Structure 1
Amino acid sequence: MAPRRLLLVGEGNFSFAAALSETLDPSTRLTATCLQRPADLAGSRLVQENLQRLRERGTEVRFGVDCTQLADAFELHDREFDRIYFNFPHCGRKAGVAKNRELLAKFFQSCADVLAEEGEIHVALCRGQGGTPADKPMREWHNSWQVVAMAALGGFILSDVHPFSCEAVSGYKCTGYRSQDKSFYVDGALNHVFTRSLPFEGLQPRISRIKLGGQWFSFLEPEVLVGKLNRGFLEASSCHPVKTINEKLIGELGKAFPLKRLKCSSPLLLQGGTSVLTSCNYDILSAAFWISLCEDNSNAESLTGGTTQDMEDFLVSFSELSLPKSLTDSREEAHNGISGQAKVCLRPSLLVHVQTVIQAPDFLPGSVHVLSGPVFRKCCISPFTMPAFHETLFILGFNKNLKDGCLRSLLDHLKCILDSLLTQTLLEGSQLSSSVEFVFQPNRKDYVINVKFHSFGPDCVKDLTVGSVTTSATSAIHKDQCFVCVSVNLDLLAMLVWGISDWRMLWTFDTRFLKNFVPGKIEPFKSYSLHPPHYVHDISFWIDEKKRFDEVEFHTVARAVSQDTVISIRFLSRFQHPKTEQVSLCYRLTYQTCDKALTQQQVASMQSQLRKEIQRRLHLTPR
Structure 2
Amino acid sequence: MILIVGDGNFSYSLSFVRKLSPALGNSTIATSFEDEVTCFQKYGEKARSNLLSLKELGSLVFHGIDATCLEAYPAIGGIHKFKQVIFNFPHTGRKANIKLNRALLSKFFKSASKVLEDEGKVEVTLCAGQGGTPEDSKQREKCNHWQIVDMATHGGFILQNVQNFVPIDGYLSTGRRGAGNIFHTEGAKTHIFIKSPSPPNLSDDWSSSALLYETTELPSSLNRRLKYDSGTPRLPQQYFSENICDKLKHLVNSSYDPCLSEVFQNHLQKSNFVQINIKELGCCPKCAKVFENQICSFKSQQNNLLTVFRPSLALEVGFVMEKVLEFPETVSFCAAAPVFTKPTANKISSLCFEMMIIGKSKYGKNAQELSTCDILNILSILFDERNVSLCVNLKPVCRNSCNNDEHLHLCDQHLPTNISLPSNIHVGLVYLLHLAADYKIDSLEIISIGNNATEMSHIVGYTCSFVDKSTCKLFLTIIDMDILSCLLLNGLDTKNQQVLWSLCKETQRRLFDACLHNIPYKSNSLFPPKYVLHISFWILDSSSCNTEAIIDEKRMEFTEERFLQILSYTCDDLIKAVKLVDKYIEQSTNSASGTRTSLCYEMVYSSHEYCFYKTNALQLQELVAKNVSKYLKVMIR
Establish whether residue 174 from structure 1 lines up as the match of residue 166 from structure 2: no
Q: Which moved more, 1:239-248 or 1:494-503?
A: 239-248
Is contact 1:259–1:369 with CA below 8 Å preserved after alignment? yes
Report the alpha carbon displacement of residue 522 of structure 1 after superposing the two structures with TM.
Answer: 2.6
Q: Which moved more, 1:238-247 or 1:361-370?
A: 361-370
Show the counterpart of 1:542: 538
Q: Structure 2 vs 1, CA of residues 292 and 265 (structure 1 numbering), >3 Å: closer, same or farther?
A: farther
Residue by residue, what CA displacement relative to the aligned partner does 1:61-118 show, whole Å, maximum 9, x if unpaired?
1112111111112466523200000101111111422221111111111111111011
Establish whether residue 598 from structure 1 lines up as the match of residue 592 from structure 2: no
Which of 566, 573, 578 is matched with 2:587 structurally?
Answer: 578
RMSD over aligned Cα atoms: 3.7
Q: How does 1:103-252 map to 2 (within 5 A)?
A: 103-166=104-167, 169-203=168-202, 220-232=217-229, 235-238=230-233, 240-252=235-247
What secondary structure is seen at the aligned counterpart in 2 of 1:374? strand
Query: Aligned partners of 1:281, 1:176: CA distance in 2, in Å?
Result: 72
Report the alpha carbon displacement of residue 165 of structure 1 after superposing the two structures with TM.
Answer: 1.2
Establish whether residue 500 from structure 1 lines up as the match of residue 492 from structure 2: yes
Q: Structure 2 vs 1, CA of residues 204 and 612 (structure 1 numbering), >3 Å: closer, same or farther?
A: closer
Is contact 2:274–2:315 with CA below 8 Å preserved after alignment? no
Q: Which moved more, 1:128-137 or 1:544-553?
A: 544-553
Show the counterpart of 2:66: 66
Residue by residue, what CA displacement relative to the aligned partner does 1:569-591 show, whole Å, maximum 9, x if unpaired?
12223222133532222222111
Is contact 1:264–1:373 with CA below 8 Å preserved after alignment? no
What secondary structure is seen at the aligned counterpart in 2 of 1:22? helix
Q: How does 1:497-536 map to 2 (within 5 A)?
A: 497-498=488-489, 499-501=491-493, 502-513=496-507, 514-515=509-510, 517-518=512-513, 521-536=517-532
Residue by residue, what CA displacement relative to the aligned partner does 1:38-69 show, whole Å, maximum 9, x if unpaired?
12123221211111111111111111211111
Establish whether residue 422 from structure 1 lines up as the match of residue 421 from structure 2: no
Establish whether residue 38 from structure 1 lines up as the match of residue 30 from structure 2: no
Is contact 1:575–1:584 with CA below 8 Å preserved after alignment? yes
What secondary structure is seen at the aligned counterpart in 2 of 1:200? coil
Show the counterpart of 2:420: none
Establish whether residue 8 from structure 1 lines up as the match of residue 4 from structure 2: yes
Query: Aligned partners of 1:492, 1:237: CA distance in 2, in Å?
Result: 21
Is contact 2:333–2:358 with CA below 8 Å preserved after alignment? yes
AA at the equivalent of 1:366? T
Structure that is richer in helix per residue: 2
Q: Structure 2 vs 1, CA of residues 536 and 250 (structure 1 numbering), >3 Å: closer, same or farther?
A: same
Report the alpha carbon displacement of residue 440 of structure 1 after superposing the two structures with TM.
Answer: 1.1
AA at the equivalent of 1:243? Q
Query: Aligned partners of 2:597, 2:3: CA distance in 1, in Å?
Result: 59
AA at the equivalent of 2:311? P
Q: Structure 2 vs 1, CA of residues 285 and 413 (structure 1 numbering), >3 Å: closer, same or farther?
A: farther
Q: Structure 2 vs 1, CA of residues 229 and 586 (structure 1 numbering), >3 Å: closer, same or farther?
A: same
Query: Aligned partners of 1:543, 1:462: CA distance in 2, in Å?
Result: 41
Show the counterpart of 2:395: 438
Establish whether residue 619 from structure 1 lines up as the match of residue 633 from structure 2: yes
Is contact 2:5–2:30 with CA below 8 Å preserved after alignment? yes
Is contact 1:164–1:188 with CA below 8 Å preserved after alignment? yes
Is contact 1:615–1:622 with CA below 8 Å preserved after alignment? yes
Query: Aligned partners of 2:27, 2:271: CA distance in 1, in Å?
Result: 60
- Structure 2, unmatched stretches of 5+, are 207-214, 400-408, 411-442, 543-555, 589-593
**Identity rate of aligned residues, in percent?**
26
Q: TM-score, normalised by structure 2?
A: 0.76
Query: Aligned partners of 1:98, 1:222: CA distance in 2, in Å?
Result: 42
Show the counterpart of 2:405: none
AA at the equivalent of 2:446? V
Show the counterpart of 2:578: 569
Report the alpha carbon displacement of residue 561 of structure 1 after superposing the two structures with TM.
Answer: 1.9
Which of 335, 338, 350 is matched with 1:387 structurally?
Answer: 350
Q: Structure 2 vs 1, CA of residues 364 and 507 (structure 1 numbering), >3 Å: closer, same or farther?
A: farther
Q: Structure 2 vs 1, CA of residues 516 and 355 (structure 1 numbering), >3 Å: closer, same or farther?
A: closer
Query: Aligned partners of 2:236, 2:115: CA distance in 1, in Å?
Result: 35
Report the alpha carbon displacement of residue 544 of structure 1 after superposing the two structures with TM.
Answer: 5.6
Query: Aligned partners of 2:228, 2:205: CA distance in 1, in Å?
Result: 14
Q: Structure 2 vs 1, CA of residues 410 and 87 (structure 1 numbering), >3 Å: closer, same or farther?
A: same
Report the alpha carbon displacement of residue 289 of structure 1 after superposing the two structures with TM.
Answer: 5.1
What secondary structure is seen at the aligned counterpart in 2 of 1:68? coil
Residue by residue, what CA displacement relative to the aligned partner does 1:20-45 show, whole Å, maximum 9, x if unpaired?
11122424600111221112123221
Show the counterpart of 2:14: 18
Is contact 1:224–1:557 with CA below 8 Å preserved after alignment? no
Residue by residue, what CA displacement relative to the aligned partner does 1:472-504 show, whole Å, maximum 9, x if unpaired?
6x88xx754443332112122111111312223
Q: TM-score, normalised by structure 1?
A: 0.78
Query: Aligned partners of 1:515, 1:392: CA distance in 2, in Å?
Result: 23
Query: Aligned partners of 1:153, 1:10: CA distance in 2, in Å?
Result: 20
AA at the equivalent of 2:498? R
AA at the equivalent of 1:500? L
Residue by residue, what CA displacement relative to the aligned partner does 1:260-310 show, whole Å, maximum 9, x if unpaired?
3233325565977444999598755864556899xxxxxxxxxxxxxxxxx
Query: Aligned partners of 1:424, 1:548: CA distance in 2, in Å?
Result: 51
Q: Which moved more, 1:347-356 or 1:516-525?
A: 516-525
Query: Aligned partners of 2:380, 2:179: CA distance in 1, in Å?
Result: 60
Report the alpha carbon displacement of residue 344 of structure 1 after superposing the two structures with TM.
Answer: 6.2
Show the counterpart of 1:485: 476
Query: Aligned partners of 1:6, 1:343: CA distance in 2, in Å?
Result: 63
Query: Aligned partners of 1:91, 1:292: CA distance in 2, in Å?
Result: 64
Report the alpha carbon displacement of residue 356 of structure 1 after superposing the two structures with TM.
Answer: 1.6
Is contact 1:285–1:348 with CA below 8 Å preserved after alignment? no
Report the alpha carbon displacement of residue 463 of structure 1 after superposing the two structures with TM.
Answer: 3.6
Show the counterpart of 2:436: none
Residue by residue, what CA displacement relative to the aligned partner does 1:166-201 show, whole Å, maximum 9, x if unpaired?
1xx111112222112123331111111111111224
Is contact 2:376–2:392 with CA below 8 Å preserved after alignment? no
What secondary structure is seen at the aligned counterpart in 1 of 2:192? strand
How many aligned residue pairs are there? 544
Is contact 1:438–1:450 with CA below 8 Å preserved after alignment? yes
